[in-house]
Structure 1
Amino acid sequence: MVVKRPQVAVAVLVPVLVMFGIGLWGIDRGGMWRDEAVTFQVARRSLPQIWQLLHSVDAVHGLYYLLMHPVLAVHPGEVALRLPSLCAAAATAGLVAALGARLARPRVGLWAGLLYAVTPMAGHFAQEGRSYALVAAGVAASTLLLARAVTADADGDGGGGQGGSGGGGRGGDQEDAPVGRLARHARVVGWCAYGGVVAVTVLLHEFAVLVLIAHAATLALARMPRRVWRDWACAAGAVLLVLLPLALISSGQAEQVAWLRPPGGGTVERLLRSFTGPTMLVLGPYLLLIALALRHPFTPPARRGELSVPTVALPLLLLPPAVLIVVSRHWPLYDDRYVLYALAGAPLLAAAGAERLVLAARRAGLARCETEGLMRGSGGAPDSAPDSDPALVRGVRVPYAATLVGVLAITLAFVSQLPVLREDRDPARRPDNLAVVSAAAAQRMSPGDPVLFLPSLGRRSALAYPKGFQGTRDIALEEPAPVSGTLYGRETGPDELRRRLAGLDRVWVVAEPYALKSAWFPSEPTERVKLTVVGEEFVPRAEFVRKGSILRLYVRRAPTM
């Protein structure tokens, strides 16, 4: 976006810096959790190894792994792992601000961008080594490009086909033809840019395709002409063609989302609090401002075909989560991180509601000033005093005072949510901390000790932090993960595993908590052998328990007489 006014530049830059600062705070929290560990170990493989993996698992994240490959090749570490997400979150805050400034005015953009930056959900995924923050940036960028493409479509209508009626003659045709070609070129470039960004975004995560439903609703609410619909349909069709191969491949890898469950009764409320604020001190005013922005949600724009904040933000906020939740009632696919990109609609609507408050207050102030002026005029008093300008309040211009008041209110919302943001920087807030498991292994295991991972995905701690397991023997492993084209390696068969365990007097087991419960019955024969042999021939001697992982030493049972 070309910034033409200093106010717009400030409105975009300030949220970018604020989001970057919030995301940078505590980004090196001292441990990766399981999903980040997958990114870390897969992106560090060679490109042929990554390509081999995607044929069997994680195709939906393939482009993200390829993008992260050169990042982690420079300096593999937790900060480098999360830095692309941080930059994407900062860019999203700026894009939300740019969208608000384009659809309304710079201060609306500034408020919207800052609201996005201080939302705990945005800060959370700014520190995740996964693709969701990048997807949110792509959706925000595509929405801004949609607004620009619609404008270019309107400006390019009939530019070159109009002759010089009324005396223009042939000379008018020659003069207008280049202008028409330039307008058509701008329109084509605008829609190609829109389609390209959406295509890359859906390749980062295929559920981002739901943004096309939101954008279609935007065009419908704005009563766009048929020409705009035609151009948008061409771009959307190209996106779907790009997505089709990935959708076919990932449908064959549906077991990756088998852990998801149908959304419950509290799903909508939890998502609402994530999008606005977890505390009532923030949630209440936030919802009030959104209600003000939607007081006349379907009022036609000032001119047919014009976009407004509600027509853009409301479909983005509601439709992708609603569609995914409804589908998940029958085919569980919903998780709040999959619709992180819809968050951008909430701050835009809240900022638009705040703008309505400011305009209402200003109209009331103008009416009061006019009334006082009439009263002074009727009494013969002069009404040309310097402080009689209704645009001034004690020497400060109302627009700037209102902007500062809005920024102050957002600062108070940020301060009230500081405890939430601080807690989110604690590694214990994630499902697990693989660094702690590796550190415990380093303290308790000795070189040559046999290790059994139950199930095989428990090996992720050793893959993410191999130093803690250095020198130990992975009893069940047949082929390492990078070579085998799998996430966690290929294990030996059940008979061979029995033979290997038969010669051991002690074995360390790194287990998922559910794997040690009697209700768990694995389908893989090798996993069943692990459970059977360890349970029948060994007894636990020592244990280290950490959220998400259990490290337990087993010793062979004494022979019975």
Structure 2
Amino acid sequence: MSLDLDSGATPVTGRGAARAPVGAHRLPGWVVPGAPALLALALGLWGLPRQGALWRDEAATWEAAQRSVPEIWHMIGQVDVVHCLYYLLIHTVFEVFGPGLAALRLPSVLGAVIAAAATAATGRRLTGPMGGLSAGLVLALLPVMQRYAQEGRAFALVSAGVVVATWLLVGAVCPERSGTSPDGRERRGEWAWAWRWGAYTAVMLTTALLNWLSLLALAAHGVTVLIAWRAGQRPLLARWLAAAAVIVSGTLPLILASRRQVDQVAWIPPASGVTLLGVTAMLVVALICARVPRHRISHSRIPPHRIPQQGIPSQHPRSERTELSHVAVGLPLLAVPQSVLLLASWLVKPLYVDRYVLFAYTGLALLVGPAVARAVRAAVSYGRTGGRSWRRIPGEALLAGVVAVVFAALLPLELSLRTPASRTDDVRVTADRVAALARPGDGIVFVPDQRRDAALVTPSSFRGLHDLALAESPVASGTLYGVEAAPPRIRAAMLARKRIVVVTDIGSTPAPATPRDRAKLATLAQHFTLTSSAEAGGRRVLVYVRTR
């Protein structure tokens, strides 16, 4: 097992090595990644259906994934090329299990489970069993992770890929060794580093193809590698640069293709002061946790009979026992993606949305988790030396109590995340309201055309209604919402109806963004009278009757 040494502990000089921190020796190997994985699984499955709600981003996944592979390929030439791999994945899931909310969201639950387990495994390498266990539990409990673990989008899976890649990178920087003959050790070492770097490259490339903004994690890994390189790992930088070149080259076609579809992120507002304050607060918390005294870990798995005795030189050179601080891994992973995306949002184009850098929260967990573990160790040690009432409570039990307290404190937020109102809108409720207000033969108009997603997800609610603006269907046009006719044709189609149902957004209606939307609203204002209005699923359903 790994040897946990306090920063000021006596060096290991024989079999009578310094004792591991409180609780470290009690944890079986599977518990460290297993407990956070089970917690993430339980939190992910809890309230997963969300009362049947489906918000607009999930509706896009739902509709796209039910197309055939050629139809998906045709679509990404027009829109959403950045989500191509994810749509193909969900398409495969639907083919195997059938379309449904569980099938849509379970891949994200699995992503959260893998992310929590890999965070714990990474933390164990860097800070020991208790530190790793705490880091995994922190990530599983984060409300932002709980939210995206239950959404049919790629962000939880991207986080999982980044954390697995981080675990592989830490293993490449700090390889674990076992006692072998010199020749066998040399051969195993050559194979091990090639395997680790190959796996790192494959995982990071796949993750980047799921969402190329995960390349910001690659930049964070570069900072970690530079820290290790400056500490004496001379071959490390060249190996990472080679891996990074393959990853970036493999992702470059996707990046170039997505630039042609940049209008799809035109809805993102400039980063606000509240956003900056939130990111700053996270960094402050991370820096405070980074200053907490911590146990250091030796990453050599040296059996007791191989530990050098006093006066006997070690068979394991120092370069094979490289230590890497969890701060050197966690802080860049938290700070670099957030800072770069914020900077790009200010200097180039508004791009900052927290879910785009969801994987950065794993860096926060790698810093907060070991600090929590250190506090637990200190509490247990204080109880034992001071004769306190909790002197017999194991560190693991105390950590479980901390998790229970945090879960209880977050319970109101956790409950709200599992309600339909927790998302911007609910296309299924909107569709139900349309079905209740509309009559067979009515016309229907969507302002803007993206609100057509309600009809695409629940077409049965729109049966008998005539989409007055649609000229070419989404599948035929290779788009998400179809292609609408020219404004004069839309106006003529509307004037031919006595009754029109309108689906639009709630709130004060901004100036229409397109000539088609302006034609719709102008025709309604000039020739129709509003007779009914209802809010449903975060949208408004209006009924107009022709008056002139």
Pick the TM interval, shorter chain: 0.7 to 0.9
1:464 aligns with 2:457: yes
CA offsets, 1:350-377, max 9 Å, x none? 22123433555677789x69xxxxxxxx
Deviation (angstroms), 1:41: 0.2
Task: State the distance in 1 between where 2:404 and 2:287 align.
Answer: 18
Q: Which has the larger radius of gyration?
A: 1
Stretch of structure 1 that moved more, 252-261 or 487-496 = 487-496
Deviation (angstroms), 1:341: 0.5
Asked whether the equivalents of residues 499 and 546 of structure 2 are also in contact (C-alpha less than 8 Å), the reply is yes
CA offsets, 1:267-292, max 9 Å, x none? 1333477x69xxxxxxxxx94x8624
Task: State the distance in 1 between where 2:523 and 2:241 align.
Answer: 60
Task: State the distance in 1 between where 2:452 and 2:373 align.
Answer: 53
Asked whether the equivalents of residues 131 and 374 of structure 2 are also in contact (C-alpha less than 8 Å), the reply is no
The equivalent of 1:252 in structure 2 is: 260
Aligned ranges 1:408-427 → 2 under 5 Å: 408-427=401-420
Q: Secondary structure at the match of 2:394?
A: helix
Asked whether the equivalents of residues 85 and 127 of structure 1 are also in contact (C-alpha less than 8 Å), the reply is yes
Would the alpha carbon gap of residues 292 and 121 (structure 1) be closer, same or farther in structure 2, given more than 3 Å must change? closer
Deviation (angstroms), 1:205: 0.9
Task: State the distance in 2 between where 1:539 and 1:265 align.
Answer: 42
Aligned ranges 1:180-259 → 2 under 5 Å: 180-222=186-228, 223-259=231-267
CA offsets, 1:181-202, max 9 Å, x none? 3321221111010011111111
Aligned ranges 1:372-411 → 2 under 5 Å: 396=392, 401-411=394-404
Asked whether the equivalents of residues 81 and 129 of structure 1 are also in contact (C-alpha less than 8 Å), the reply is yes
The equivalent of 1:372 in structure 2 is: none
Task: State the distance in 2 between where 1:403 and 1:454 align.
Answer: 55
Deviation (angstroms), 1:548: 3.5
Deviation (angstroms), 1:471: 2.1
1:444 aligns with 2:444: no
* Letter aligned with residue 325 of structure 2: S
Structure possessing the higher relative contact order (Cα contacts under 8 Å, 6 or more residues apart): 2
- Picking from 77, 80, 103, the partner of 1:80 is 103
Deviation (angstroms), 1:69: 0.4
Task: State the distance in 2 between where 1:471 and 1:457 align.
Answer: 20
* Letter aligned with residue 263 of structure 1: A
Would the alpha carbon gap of residues 265 and 394 (structure 1) be closer, same or farther in structure 2, given more than 3 Å must change? closer
- Picking from 291, 314, 333, the partner of 2:331 is 314
TM-score by length of 2: 0.84
Report the aligned-residue RMSD. Answer: 2.9
Asked whether the equivalents of residues 504 and 540 of structure 2 are also in contact (C-alpha less than 8 Å), the reply is yes
Deviation (angstroms), 1:551: 0.9
- Picking from 131, 144, 148, the partner of 1:121 is 144
Asked whether the equivalents of residues 290 and 346 of structure 1 are also in contact (C-alpha less than 8 Å), the reply is no
Task: State the distance in 2 between where 1:296 and 1:102 align.
Answer: 17
Asked whether the equivalents of residues 428 and 458 of structure 2 are also in contact (C-alpha less than 8 Å), the reply is yes
Task: State the distance in 1 between where 2:53 and 2:407 align.
Answer: 26
Task: State the distance in 1 between where 2:237 and 2:523 align.
Answer: 64
Task: State the distance in 2 between where 1:313 and 1:107 align.
Answer: 16
| Unmatched runs of 5 consecutive residues or more in structure 2 | 1-24, 300-317
Stretch of structure 1 that moved more, 471-480 or 201-210 = 471-480
Deviation (angstroms), 1:334: 0.5
Asked whether the equivalents of residues 432 and 549 of structure 1 are also in contact (C-alpha less than 8 Å), the reply is yes
CA offsets, 1:11-36, max 9 Å, x none? 21111111111111111112100000
- Picking from 343, 356, 360, the partner of 1:338 is 356
Task: State the distance in 2 between where 1:450 and 1:52 align.
Answer: 29
| Unmatched runs of 5 consecutive residues or more in structure 1 | 160-174, 277-285, 370-389
Task: State the distance in 2 between where 1:402 and 1:395 align.
Answer: 10
CA offsets, 1:284-324, max 9 Å, x none? xx94x862432579x99996742122111111111111111
1:350 aligns with 2:368: yes
Q: Secondary structure at the match of 1:266?
A: helix
The equivalent of 1:59 in structure 2 is: 81
Task: State the distance in 2 between where 1:210 and 1:395 align.
Answer: 45
Task: State the distance in 2 between where 1:358 and 1:27 align.
Answer: 32
Asked whether the equivalents of residues 92 and 136 of structure 1 are also in contact (C-alpha less than 8 Å), the reply is yes
CA offsets, 1:330-355, max 9 Å, x none? 22110111111011122221221234
- Picking from 488, 512, 534, the partner of 2:505 is 512
* Letter aligned with residue 331 of structure 2: L
What is the number of residues matched between the two proteins? 497
Asked whether the equivalents of residues 291 and 353 of structure 1 are also in contact (C-alpha less than 8 Å), the reply is no
TM-score by length of 1: 0.82
Q: Secondary structure at the match of 1:7?
A: coil
Asked whether the equivalents of residues 124 and 133 of structure 2 are also in contact (C-alpha less than 8 Å), the reply is yes
The equivalent of 1:326 in structure 2 is: 343
Task: State the distance in 2 between where 1:21 and 1:363 align.
Answer: 32
* Letter aligned with residue 88 of structure 2: L
The equivalent of 1:98 in structure 2 is: 121
* Letter aligned with residue 340 of structure 1: L
Deviation (angstroms), 1:510: 1.2
The equivalent of 1:293 in structure 2 is: 290
Would the alpha carbon gap of residues 42 and 295 (structure 1) be closer, same or farther in structure 2, given more than 3 Å must change? same
* Letter aligned with residue 542 of structure 1: S
Asked whether the equivalents of residues 292 and 356 of structure 1 are also in contact (C-alpha less than 8 Å), the reply is no
The equivalent of 1:493 in structure 2 is: 486
Deviation (angstroms), 1:113: 1.3
The equivalent of 1:110 in structure 2 is: 133
Task: State the distance in 2 between where 1:394 and 1:448 align.
Answer: 73
The equivalent of 2:512 in structure 1 is: 521
The equivalent of 2:10 in structure 1 is: none
The equivalent of 2:306 in structure 1 is: none
* Letter aligned with residue 309 of structure 1: H
* Letter aligned with residue 102 of structure 1: R
Task: State the distance in 2 between where 1:546 and 1:364 align.
Answer: 56
Q: Secondary structure at the match of 2:199?
A: helix
Asked whether the equivalents of residues 455 and 461 of structure 2 are also in contact (C-alpha less than 8 Å), the reply is yes
Asked whether the equivalents of residues 19 and 118 of structure 1 are also in contact (C-alpha less than 8 Å), the reply is yes
Would the alpha carbon gap of residues 361 and 448 (structure 1) be closer, same or farther in structure 2, given more than 3 Å must change? closer
1:549 aligns with 2:539: yes
- Picking from 43, 47, 54, the partner of 2:65 is 43
Task: State the distance in 1 between where 2:197 and 2:535 align.
Answer: 54
Q: Secondary structure at the match of 2:272?
A: coil
Task: State the distance in 2 between where 1:91 and 1:5 align.
Answer: 23
Asked whether the equivalents of residues 53 and 485 of structure 1 are also in contact (C-alpha less than 8 Å), the reply is yes
Stretch of structure 1 that moved more, 301-310 or 13-22 = 301-310
Deviation (angstroms), 1:119: 1.4
